[in-house]
Chains A and B, each alone.
Chain A
């Protein structure tokens, strides 16, 4: 079966702009989690959505937001981009939540100039 897909794979933005990243989970998976990965901070949890509801949230500012649609596809949005937002953003899907096996997408590499 198809894996987790993320689009776009690469993005270059400038400070102050906003960006929307997309994630399509594995069919049948209702949980989608987002992570930010940087060399200095490692893997940081952003938020988790389950059946269109945000179930869980990490310690990120309100500039980071997300949503999930009825088909379980998810988007995350970052407004007013800062240089420090440059990172690999990973999406993971699972059947019931993070305690179940999470299947990760290849990520979106965001560069903020």
Chain B
């Protein structure tokens, strides 16, 4: 069955430090991959997505992610974290189920930023 795991439930980093959030998926075919961010009290916002082509994807707010097929991973990175990046981050995989598409979200990683 298709699934998404985010091994880190919570991460704390200092402002200005680099960040890497891990994501692994289980899906037999080439997946569509997404990273969404949820700030406190708000809905989710798309950071970036991967459908095909270059495995290094650039997103908004200075984030990037790299698709590694051999590791079934799609890790999110940012070279220098800002206090405003504190939020919940969700990795998601899009799969084709018979005649329709479905997006499965991971459990999320909560990011805290120390000033």
Partner-B contacts on A (CB < 8 A): 4, 35, 42-43, 45, 48, 55-56, 90, 92, 97-99, 101-107
The smallest C-beta distance from A11 to any residue of chain B, in angstroms, reads 16
B46 and A102 contacting across the interface, CB-CB below 8 Å:
yes
Contact pick for B101, options A42, A98, A104, CB 8 Å: A98
List 3 tightest A-B contacts by C-beta distance, closest first.
A104-B43, A43-B105, A98-B103
Interfacial chain A residues near B41, Cβ < 8 Å: 106
Give the CA-CA distance A20 to B49 in the complex, in Å.
Answer: 32
Contact pick for B43, options A48, A90, A99, CB 8 Å: A90
Can you report 23 A-B residue pairs in the complex whose CB atoms are below 8 A from each other? A4-B43, A42-B107, A42-B108, A43-B90, A43-B108, A48-B100, A55-B100, A90-B44, A92-B43, A92-B44, A97-B100, A97-B101, A98-B101, A98-B103, A99-B32, A99-B101, A101-B46, A101-B49, A102-B103, A104-B43, A104-B44, A104-B45, A106-B43
Give the CA-CA distance A99 to B49 in the complex, in Å.
Answer: 9
Cβ-closest chain A residue relative to B100: A56
Interfacial chain B residues near A106, Cβ < 8 Å: 41-43
User: What interface size band does chain B fall in?
Assistant: 20 to 34
Give the CA-CA distance A39 to B3 in the complex, in Å.
Answer: 18
- 1/0 contact string of B72-115 vs chain A (CB within 8 Å): 00000000000000000010001000001111111110000000
Give the CA-CA distance A55 to B98 in the complex, in Å.
Answer: 12
The smallest C-beta distance from B60 to any residue of chain A, in angstroms, reads 11
